[in-house]
Amino acid sequence: MATNLSAGKEPLAPTGEYPHLDAILRDDLFRPIVRMNAVGIPEFPMFIGGKWLYGERTMGVHTPIDGSVVAAVPQASEGLARAAVDAAVEARRAIRDIPGAKRVELFEKAARLLREHFPAFREALLLEAGKPHHDQEGETKAAVERMLYTRAEASHIYGDYLPGDWANDTLGKMALVIREPLGVLACITPFNYPLFIPTAKIAPALVAGNTVVAKSSSTTPLSLLLLARVLETAGFPPGSLNVATGAGAVVGETWVKDERVRMVSFTGSTEVGRRLHAIGGLKRFHLELGGKAHSMVYDDADVPMAAAKSVEGACKNAGQRCDAVSAVVVVQDVLEEFLEEAAQAAQKWKVGDPRRPETKMGPMISERAAARVEGLVAEATAGGAKVLTGGTRDGTYFSPTVLRDVTERMRVAREETFGPLVPVLAARDEEDALRIAQTTEYGLDSCVFTRSFERMWRAAKRIQCGEVTINDLPKHGIGHFPFGGRRESGLGREGIGYSIEEMTEPKTIVFNLGPR
Ligand code: NAP
């Protein structure tokens, strides 16, 4: 097999023009809310109680393309974070008074607006998250689709009729179990899908009649602010959605500790999720946390397909996905074939400046994140693993990397990698592969490649995680299939209909029908 598949020598990082906001500033919907600060940086306000508020203190939004500052946003204080909750409490009545069908129409209008303003959203995703064209397109379209799905979701907000005559103590009675909104929800979201993840929380929350306080990662606050502008314009009442920017430890913690907030819907790291759960008290938690998806490749698999899909699972969004494939366990008999195919597949993932049309994989979110991945690779190679292709870093840019001779003890085999790494471990047989794939505390996703139905079924039943994918990479997509984690990967399920279930609570209404 070809073993000398080292990365090409072209630079990974961008060359050329300084990135700047352009589509957003030319857009009539967004231009009125952006002002230029004293040093000529576009400054965005927060959205609280239907008002756009600039901050006394601001923080820069650095693009991962080259580290330059492309915008500034406010750094909300605890007081402002509480003001967002005040506004959300105040607006509870207003949103509930809008009939369900009308709420759905508001989302349909918002979806149309989002589509009309695609260039601005794509620019936000390019600049704040470094997404190449294909990924910008995919995420904006997914956000539109998620909004349009609220019509289907609304059909899950029905209840039950329970006749009382099946138990002696309820004879002569009947009950209706209805689903009611919880009240104020806090939605706290990560950097990797800064438009889609907030949309996937805010849409079911509002359509179910809740009000929302939301914040995105401080590295990627712009997409959510643009989304708030769209929802405001679509006609959601003031205070129904409030968006604050600023440190999670200040804004997020203020919301999580606030007793008026009835649910926290959090997507992010296990470490932060655990902390929020510990400080939140008696409220509902929906936690979408880290993952460590193993891809298992058996000796009867379509090996080229398994290699291409495993590499795609590892490299999509520069590996910064909770559902990323972050270790591949290959049965010995097909190991060499898999490695050759995987190395070739990885080399097709062209990494570079996301503004270039040919780029398939852009930068990682920060130099720190890329250096962490570099450290994982260095530690693995020091322990005996070999780099088949990739393994190079240029600032925030990390080349797609296939590692062979990875052992179970290496961190790269056990931890969430969150970078474009394909660590390959050898297994003796199916049983050994199943054992290795369970040596993780996470329990979000895994996938298996085999042609045998019995083996598919065995893997699906044995692997302890929220979603097992057969003959494909794990993909949460827009949530048509529900997803969520076990153990260190979190609590609850997200997805069309499933989110609504989490964001409403049942109320039992008992009717005494009198003596028969
Ligand atoms: P993160 O560091 O945990 O941050 C997530 C959010 O939490 C951000 O908005 C952050 O705000 C906020 N935050 C941080 N510290 C906080 C605190 N003490 N109190 C309240 N909020 C706080 O995660 P990330 O690096 O952005 O995202 C990567 C992680 O998300 C990975 O582990 C990935 O697996 C996970 N993820 C999971 C799923 C899923 O569906 N299971 C999906 C996507 C991502 P600041 O930025 O302002 O600190």
**What does the block give as tokens for 88?**
């959300």
Q: Which atom of ligand 1 is nearest to the CA of 272?
A: 3
Torsion of CA 240, 241, 244, 248, to 10 degrees: 100
Instruction: Determine the pLDDT at residue 352.
Output: 96
d(CA 343, CA 394): 20
Decide: helix, strand or coil at residue 56.
Answer: coil
Sheet holding 173-181: strands in order across? Answer: 160-163, 173-181, 504-512
Distance of CA 307 to the CA centre of its chain: 24
Measured from the Cβ of residue 72, the count of other Cβ atoms closer than 10 Å reads 23
Q: Which pLDDT value is given to residue 445?
A: 97
Contact indicator for 48, 217 with CB cutoff of 8 Å: no
Q: Any idea what the Cα angle at residue 352 is, between residues 350 and 356, rounded to 5°?
A: 95
* Ligand 1 center from residue 266 Cα (angstroms): 8
pLDDT score for 9: 53
Going from the Cα of 41 to the center of ligand 1, the distance in angstroms, rounded, reads 26
* Beta partners for residue 498, in sequence order: none
Residue closest via CA to ligand 1's atom 30 equals 268
Q: How far is Cα 184 from Cα 82, in angstroms, rounded to an integer?
A: 12
Give the atom of ligand 1 at the shortest distance from the alpha carbon of 485.
41
- Residues 6 or more apart whose CB falls under 8 angstroms from that of 485 comprise 287, 288, 289, 291, 442, 443, 444, 465, 466, 491
**CA–CA separation, 71 vs 41, rounded Å?**
6
* CA of 256, closest atom in ligand 1: 20
> For residue 321, which amino acid is it?
R
Of 250, 272, 289, best ligand 1 pocket probe by most atoms within 8 Å of the beta carbon? 272
State CA 512 to chain mean position distance. 47
Is 288 one of the catalytic residues?
A: yes
Longest alpha-carbon distance in the chain: 87
Question: Bridge partners of 178?
Answer: 507
Q: Under a CB-based contact definition with an 8 Å cutoff, are residues 466 and 493 in contact? A: yes
d(CA 274, CA 189): 15
Q: Which two tokens stand for residue 323?
A: 């559902």
Of the candidates 295, 307, 393, the residue with the CA atom closest to the CA atom of residue 343: 307
Cα-to-centroid distance, 259 and ligand 1 (Å): 22
Nearest to 149 by CA among 473, 481, 446: 481
What is the CB-side half-sphere exposure of residue 52 using CA atoms within 13 A?
16
CB-based burial, 29-46: b 16+ in 10 Å, e otherwise: bbeebbeeeeeebbbbbb
Query: Could you tell me if 192 and 223 are in contact, meaning their C-beta atoms sit under 8 angstroms apart?
Result: no
Ligand 1: which residue has its CA nearest to atom 15? 248
Q: How far is the CA of 78 from the centre of ligand 1 (A)?
A: 19
Residue 123 among the catalytic residues: no
CA of 214 to the centre of ligand 1 (A): 13
Residue whose CA is closest, atom 16 of ligand 1?
248
Write down the pLDDT at residue 4: 36
Distance from the CA of 195 to the center of ligand 1, in angstroms?
Answer: 14
Pocket of ligand 1 (CB under 6 A): 188-192, 215-218, 247-249, 252-253, 267-269, 272, 275-276, 288-291, 322, 416, 444, 485, 490
Q: Identify the CA nearest to 326 among candidates 316, 341, 338, 337.
A: 316
Q: What is the pTM of this model?
A: 0.96
- Which of 78, 192, 277 best tests ligand 1's pocket when mutated (most atoms within 8 Å of CB)? 192
Minimum CA distance residue for ligand 1 atom 48:
248
Annotated catalytic residue, options 123, 128, 139, 288: 288
Catalytic residue among 187, 315, 322, 447: 322
- Output the tens digit of pLDDT for each of the chain's 516 residues: 333 334 445 678 787 777 889 999 999 999 999 999 999 999 999 999 999 999 899 999 999 999 999 999 999 999 999 999 999 999 999 999 999 999 999 999 999 999 999 999 999 999 999 999 999 999 999 999 999 999 988 877 889 999 999 999 999 999 999 999 999 999 999 999 999 999 999 999 999 999 999 999 999 999 999 999 999 999 999 999 999 999 999 999 999 999 999 999 999 999 999 999 999 999 999 999 999 999 999 999 999 999 999 999 999 999 999 999 999 999 999 999 999 999 999 999 999 999 999 999 999 999 999 999 999 999 999 999 999 999 999 999 999 999 999 999 999 999 999 999 999 999 999 999 999 999 999 999 999 999 999 999 999 999 999 999 999 999 999 999 999 999 999 999 999 999 999 999 999 999 999 865
Distances (CA, A) of 267 to 37, 272, 338, 342: 32, 9, 33, 30
Distance (angstroms) between ligand 1 centre and the Cα of 456 equals 33
* CA-proximal residue: ligand 1, atom 13 (nearest): 248
Which of 78, 199, 254, 267 gets mutated to test ligand 1 (max ligand atoms within 8 A of its CB)? Answer: 267
- 226: three-class secondary structure by DSSP: helix
Residue 80 identity (one-letter amino acid):
L
Q: What is the pLDDT of residue 380?
A: 98
d(CA 377, CA 411): 9
How many angstroms separate the alpha carbon of residue 83 from the centre of ligand 1?
23
How high is the pLDDT of residue 5? 37
Residue 62 bridge partners (DSSP): 69
Cα 312 from Cα 77, distance rounded (Å) = 41
Place of tokens 């045998």: 452
